[in-house]
Amino acid sequence: MQAAGGTSVDGSDSGPADPRRPALASRRAWVTFALVAAALYTADQVSKHVAVERLTGRDDVPVVGDLLQLHLTRNPGAAFSVGTGFTVALTCLAILATLVVLAISRRVVDRVWAVALGALMAGIAGNLTDRMLRGPEPFRGHVVDFLRLPNWPIFNVADISINIGVALVLIQVFRGAKMDGTRQDGPTQDDLDADPEVDE
């Protein structure tokens, strides 16, 4: 993606922008997206594997007294046990959401947006993996949940990732920060260059 004067937003000079081409992610932002997604996805899958191995057939395991406990359950629904009767539909929506996040990530420049999208990707893909690879069958697989808080549905690391991603997206929208690194309704770089009295 190009900023004013033919300089890309990540600092590299790659010539004037071609308006016919879609803006592409900066390399650093996309690497951030990929690393966040990979790290959280790995944490989710490893934690689920350990939970199944260690918690099957066991009673609740206290971690922080009654505040946080480990309790293994298998959830046919969405995050926090929503929509338990629509497993196949939720699986198809998760596949679509994964493709949408991947497509959007190709245009991200802002690194906070990159973290947000990476967290969303990890959470969606983490639970989607369960639906495709765990029993009873592909597209109907039950998601492994094992984290329990008082008066709260049992959840997993993928659910946490999704909520982190959504929270960051809402923060960025509230701040008016766009994925291309600019701010909505704020002065452009051309405005700042043309008017030295505009505060940066």
Backbone angles phi, psi at 187, to 5 degrees: -65, 140
Which phi-psi region, left, alpha or beta, contains residue 181 (left: φ > 0; alpha: ψ -120 to 50)? left
Q: Which of 59, 145, 180, 195 is catalytic?
A: 145
**93 with 164: CB under 8 angstroms?**
no
Q: Is 159 a catalytic residue?
A: yes
Would you report the helix, strand and coil content of the chain in percent, each value rounded to 5?
A: 50, 10, 35
Q: Which of 44, 110, 130, 159 is catalytic?
A: 159
**110 with 103: CB under 8 angstroms?**
no
Q: Which residues are catalytic?
A: 145, 159
